[in-house]
Amino acid sequence: DRLVVLDFTATWCGPCQRIAPAYAEMADHYSDRALLVKVDVDELPELAAELGVSSMPTFLFFRDGEQVDMMRGADEQGLRSLIEKH
């Protein structure tokens, strides 16, 4: 029943690399209630396409298999707020 957050990222994406340390810290901080996962769009392009991800970073939020939210861009405070919200 935990929140699952997918971070669609790429090695060549500057904003993705800038938010990566904060995302890793959030993965530890919220580990009791959320599972934060990185998805490399170059390794899993079909998943990105299936979920409609066309820009990075994009964060998709799921609970019980249903998408409950989405955020585009490397906004650390926005990301924290959405994790807290869900």
- Residue 32 DSSP symbol: T
Q: Which residue has tokens 């890793």?
A: 24
- Say if CB 38 and CB 23 are below 8 A apart: yes
16 is catalytic: yes
Choosing from 16, 41, 60, 79, the catalytic residue is 16
Annotated catalytic residue, options 5, 13, 48, 79 = 13
Active site residue 64: no
Q: How far apart are CA 69 and CA 20, in angstroms?
A: 20
Catalytic (active-site) positions: 13, 16
